[in-house]
Structure 1
């Protein structure tokens, strides 16, 4: 089988920050020719976690996203700080966003969120054995924090109340391949 592979002839930075870099790449696409292609690079690793308890519930946060002007349920998520391992980052994020301290963090899956245009890579974890340590440190993250029964989480997704891509991916992976592999 012949592999179609784009060839890069260079790139220039259009915009750069601590959050995102926007590049314009000069690429040659087989059968198409040379084109300019936008590429987003993220300077830090992104993390998500499905946090469960021994009562078959998932910890969700209700938050507003100003970019889409929508509100919905999400799993805890965030970026790793420079030099911080993704597992340590999600442990910190869970505590900061929810007030719950995870006892155990297990990797589930890492994936490229927007592979056609971005280097954004998410590391998804399963967190268990949590204990409540107090109100969330970061009060700007969530309006509500709730333990939701797993069967209700699926309904929320179907109803469109979980519309965040990283949350949908993490929850779907947890409810599907992750749990199936455990049995």
Structure 2
């Protein structure tokens, strides 16, 4: 059954997102108003070192008042290539510059409400440049054993679904 978006208008907008109201036609012909959030693409990046440790951020999310492990991530600026945005975010948030990035996968973490497309990349090397420019984004940055990822996710230490999916995929790709 396919829902049809017959049109939408913006009810709020800022630099990061737009909240739109859509007129949606359901398969039975009835209509409903559906709010949705239009977001810029998000670039995500990390590195795995020769010891099979993954570079993670330990951070607090005030919206859910939760702590957890995450990968560096942020919006892609207008005209910026997605891999360049991923590398920039990793450097800004960790102080580590990734080596050549590999595309891991792309996902839509909440496609019932948003059109946020997250592009996840990883590198098998990184070079420490210095203290992160955006150190306010996390309490600490650590190299965590990749083999620990399934247990971290199972315990709830990776509360964001997009980050859990990315880390489990990376675990599978790297450790099989």
Q: Is the pair's TM-score, using the shorter chain for normalization, greater than 0.5?
A: yes
Gaps of 5+ in 2: none
Which aligned pairs between 1:10-29 and structure 2 lie closer than 5 A? 10-29=7-26
From 133, 139, 156, the equivalent of 1:160 is 156
Asked if structure 2 preserves the Cα contact closer than 8 Å seen for 1:48 and 1:170, the reply is no
TM-score normalised by L of structure 2:
0.93
Give the deviation of 1:161 after TM superposition: 1.0
Three-state SS of the structure 1 residue aligned to 2:143 is strand
| Pairwise CA RMSD | 1.6
Gaps of 5+ in 1: none
> How many pairs align?
176
Give the deviation of 1:8 after TM superposition: 2.6
Asked if structure 2 preserves the Cα contact closer than 8 Å seen for 1:50 and 1:170, the reply is no
Asked if 1:58 is matched to 2:54, the reply is: yes
Asked if 1:49 is matched to 2:45, the reply is: yes
Greater CA drift, 92-101 or 156-165? 156-165
From 148, 151, 167, the equivalent of 2:147 is 151
Structure 1: 4+ residue segments shifted above 6 A:
none
Asked if 1:112 is matched to 2:146, the reply is: no
Three-state SS of the structure 2 residue aligned to 1:140 is helix
Per the alignment, do residues 101 and 5 of structure 1 end up closer, same or farther by CA in structure 2, a change over 3 Å counting?
same
From 55, 66, 71, the equivalent of 2:67 is 71
